[in-house]
Amino acid sequence: MLDYKKIIEKYSPTLEERRKLENISNKVSASISSYCHENAINAVPKVVGSFSKDTNLKDGDLDIFIAFNRSYSEEFMEHEGLKIGHAVLPDAEERYAEHPYVSGKIDGIKIDIVPCFQIKFGEKKISAVDRSILHTEYVNEKLSRGQHNEIRLLKIFMKSAGVYGSEVKVSGFSGYVCELLVIAFGSFSNVIKKFSETKGKFIYPDNREEFDSPVVIIDPVDTGRNAGAAVSPENLSKMKLASKLFMRNEDESFFRIERPEKATVYRDRGTCIKIFRVPKPDRTDDVVYPQAVRLKDTLFKIMNEFNLEPVSFEIYIDNYVEILIESRMCKSNMINVRKGPPVDIDNAIEFYDKWISGIAARGPYIIGENIYVDIETEPMDIEKLVRTNINKYSIGKNLDIYRNSIEIIDMPRDGTRMKILDRFFSKSIFD
Binding a copy of itself by CB under 8 A: which of 2, 335, 359, 401? Answer: 335
The answer to whether residue 269 forms part of the interface with a copy of itself (CB under 8 A) is yes
Considering the complex, what minimum distance in angstroms separates the CB of residue 372 from a copy of itself? 9
Binders of a copy of itself among residues 223 to 242 (CB under 8 A) are: 233-234, 237-238, 240-241
Binding a copy of itself by CB under 8 A: which of 67, 102, 348, 390? Answer: 348
DSSP 20-50: HHHHHHHHHHHHHHHHHHHTT--EEEEEEHH
Considering the complex, what minimum distance in angstroms separates the CB of residue 301 from a copy of itself? 18
Nearer to a copy of itself, 301 or 427 (CB): 427
DSSP 229-268: TT--HHHHHHHHHHHHHHHH---GGGG--S-PPP------
Phi, psi of 139, rounded to the nearest 5 degrees = -65, -45
Considering the complex, what minimum distance in angstroms separates the CB of residue 272 from a copy of itself? 10
The answer to whether residue 427 forms part of the interface with a copy of itself (CB under 8 A) is yes
Query: Whole-angstrom Cα distance, residue 33 to residue 23?
Result: 15
Query: Whole-angstrom Cα distance, residue 273 to residue 308?
Result: 12
The sign of the CA dihedral 101, 105, 109, 110 is positive
Binding a copy of itself by CB under 8 A: which of 2, 97, 128, 349? Answer: 349
Apex CA 58: angle with CA 218 and CA 237, to 5°? 40
Binding a copy of itself by CB under 8 A: which of 224, 270, 282, 414? Answer: 270
The answer to whether residue 343 forms part of the interface with a copy of itself (CB under 8 A) is yes
Nearer to a copy of itself, 352 or 393 (CB): 352
Nearer to a copy of itself, 211 or 425 (CB): 425
Phi, psi of 232, rounded to the nearest 5 degrees = -80, 160
The answer to whether residue 429 forms part of the interface with a copy of itself (CB under 8 A) is yes
Considering the complex, what minimum distance in angstroms separates the CB of residue 429 from a copy of itself? 6
Binding range to a copy of itself, per CB under 8 A, among 178-186, 316-324, 330-338, 388-396:
330-338
Contact 220, 180 (CB under 8 A): yes
DSSP 346-410: THHHHHHHHHHTTTSSEEEEEETTEEEEEEE----BHHHHHHHHGGGS---TTTGGGGGG-EEEE
Query: Whole-angstrom Cα distance, residue 118 to residue 108?
Result: 29
Binders of a copy of itself among residues 34 to 53 (CB under 8 A) are: none
Binding a copy of itself by CB under 8 A: which of 307, 315, 320, 396? Answer: 307
Neighbours of 171 (CB within 10 A): 17
Establish how many alpha carbons lie within 13 A of residue 142's alpha carbon, considering only the half-sphere containing its beta carbon.
19
Nearer to a copy of itself, 266 or 393 (CB): 266
Binding a copy of itself by CB under 8 A: which of 263, 267, 404, 413? Answer: 267
Binders of a copy of itself among residues 197 to 216 (CB under 8 A) are: 198-200
The answer to whether residue 425 forms part of the interface with a copy of itself (CB under 8 A) is yes
Q: Which spans of this chain sit near a copy of itself (rule: CB under 8 A)?
A: 198-200, 233-234, 237-238, 240-241, 244-245, 248, 267-271, 307, 309, 311-312, 328-329, 333-335, 337, 342-344, 348-349, 352, 361-371, 374, 376, 379, 425, 427-429
